[in-house]
Amino acid sequence: MNLGDKKPEKKPLYVYYIIAIVVIFLLNFLVVPMVQEGSIITTDYSTFLNNVDRGNVTDVTVDGDYIYYVAKKDGKQVECRTVAMDDPNLVERLRQAGVNMQEAEPARQSLFLSIILSYVIPIAIFIFLGRWLSKKMMNSMGGDGPGGMMSFGKSNAKVYVKSTSGIKFSDVAGEDEAKELLTEIVDYLHNPHKYAEIGASMPKGALLVGPPGTGKTLLAKAVAGEAEVPFFSISGSEFVEMFVGMGAAKVRDLFKQANEKAPCIVFIDEIDTIGKKRDGGGFSGNDEREQTLNQLLTEMDGFDGSKGVVILAATNRPDSLDPALLRPGRFDRRIPVELPDLQGREEILKVHAKKIKIADSVRFDEIAKAAAGASGAELANIVNEAALRAVRDGRKFATQADFEESIEVVIAGYQKKNRVLSNKEKLIVAYHEIGHALVAAKQTDSAPVHKITIIPRTSGALGYTMQVDEKEHFLMSKEELENKIATFTGGRAAEELIFHTITTGASNDIEQATKIARAMISRYGMSDEFDMVAMENVTNPYLGGESSLACSFETQTVLDKKVVDLVSRQHQKALKILQDNIGKLHELAKYLYEHETITGEEFMKILEAPMPELQQNL
């Protein structure tokens, strides 16, 4: 979330009333007296007596601690004030000077100005605050336009009329299966009579499911772009309101607008916000979210699909959706939008690379191999990072090295140049990473080493070993998984073998090895004792997967023991591989210590070269 975009919290209404009262108080007790006293000249007592003796004073009024008098100055009468003194002769002195002490009183501020300052201005402030608060409340409850309070329940859906965004299927790469399924919807919107002749009806809704960043929203916009029909886009969270019934009203308004602009496409992003399973946990089934869901179910049953209104929705949590939402007649089709394969990643990279300048020598197939498991959004980020790196280096185009470095940035973060390791720590990290690479290289069915580095990254990694498969793998055998566990334990094994101690650098390796070992036994049925019995359930697979054990406590104890045994066996295997290749371990670690980075070609060249004399004092 961008902190810079965070909206300020709304203040309660009483805060503004308190502010208004304070303003009125200040006006009446500070400003008004200042204005009233501003026209009165303050003098000392001796000046007052001199004016009396000279006959310049005509009227005098004693008011508490002050004496107000009217004096003649330059042919004009001015109002003055002085401090009252304990002067018993003052009255006789004033009488002798002929000063009027009875009826005359210094003129005070005019009544008109007093009324304005005391009443008109405070009332005007109250009216202004009231109108402003009323407008803010209407805007927050859907009254953005002239409708005011009558605009409750507006859907506020963004409307893109006839693909003003310009997105077509050609702008979406790597999802050929999804595009093929959606092409039929486009054809129906173009030629509905072709389907009506045979009596076929188009599915009312299609649900796009897949991990984040795979292009579900982009595909929905591309469908509207290809069909050249209006496109309504709204997020599921926009239906959730504080006031009961507002979400249902927004659903009704959305379908009303869609029917008026048919044929069109309605896209509801993150539909799991309002489409979660009803479990009876609300207030007798009448909470706001359930009312919104019930209204959505009713509207999908009620609208006429022959008009050409197609409902598209996207989610990365399909398991949490209510079964009534997924039954035939509502969301008839479930279109998977999975992570792209090798060819798909290459096509996505080419689409995004059209936006930047690149060198002719860039090989997208190699970049796609190194970016295994990346989503479309991550691939777009890789291309952008490559362009940014080229600018930082003062070049006009991105090269192959820029793309390779951008992959590492997305995986492990930027290079942490201000972190300097001590010579001992740097040596330990060098042996640790070579331990991973050497164990991987000496095992069959293991991905080739692509790069080894001991340059710290902003993700916290002090170094890493990158392996890249030559081909795409969709299945993994038991032997391949065991080899991966052994590779993860290779770093710790190298530390034990060379330094006879262990460090905290293997924490992530331990976590990954344990995760694979537990999945082999509890989910993949790769244990003789448990055979093909699932001991673990996984939910939300598109969001990383949340696992929960489905077995007794006694079975969990046995399962934990088998996980420990499996990881321990592979740890011992890694130790034996490193012991058998101790010379190459020293040679490669020395090279990595000196150069900080080794490519896969350099690594294999040193590994396959004849063994030099063992350097004792490394």
The residues that are catalytic are: 433
Name residues whose C-beta falls within 8 Å of residue 512's C-beta, 6 or more positions apart in sequence. Answer: 488
Q: Largest Cα–Cα distance of the chain, in whole Å? A: 131
How far apart are alpha carbons 257 and 475 in whole angstroms? 47
- The tokens of 558 are what? 């046995």
Give the side-chain half-sphere CA count within 13 A for 43: 17
How far apart are alpha carbons 582 and 580 in whole angstroms? 6
Tokens 């006429």 belong to residue: 304
Q: Any idea how long the chain is?
A: 618
How far apart are alpha carbons 254 and 306 in whole angstroms? 18
Residue type, 172: V
- The tokens of 586 are what? 């020293």
DSSP code per residue over 553-574: HHHHHHHHHHHHHHHHHHHHHH
- Residue 96, judged by CB atoms within 10 A of its CB (0-12, 13-18, 19+), counts as exposed
* DSSP strand pairing (158-160 vs 205-209): unpaired
How far apart are alpha carbons 397 and 404 in whole angstroms? 14
- Strands, DSSP E only, in 344-461? 449-453
φ and ψ at residue 586, rounded to 5 degrees = -65, -45
How far apart are alpha carbons 160 and 265 in whole angstroms? 10
- Residue 72, judged by CB atoms within 10 A of its CB (0-12, 13-18, 19+), counts as middle
How far apart are alpha carbons 226 and 265 in whole angstroms? 11
**Contact yes or no for 78/66 (Cβ under 8 A):** no
How far apart are alpha carbons 270 and 316 in whole angstroms? 8
How far apart are alpha carbons 252 and 123 in whole angstroms? 42
Torsion-angle region of 502 (φ positive above 0: left; ψ -120 to 50: alpha; else: beta): beta
How far apart are alpha carbons 558 and 522 in whole angstroms? 11
**Contact yes or no for 361/397 (Cβ under 8 A):** no
Which of 74, 81, 68, 44 lies closest to 56, judged by CA?
74
**Contact yes or no for 67/153 (Cβ under 8 A):** no
- Strands, DSSP E only, in 447-560? 449-453, 464-467, 536-539, 546-549
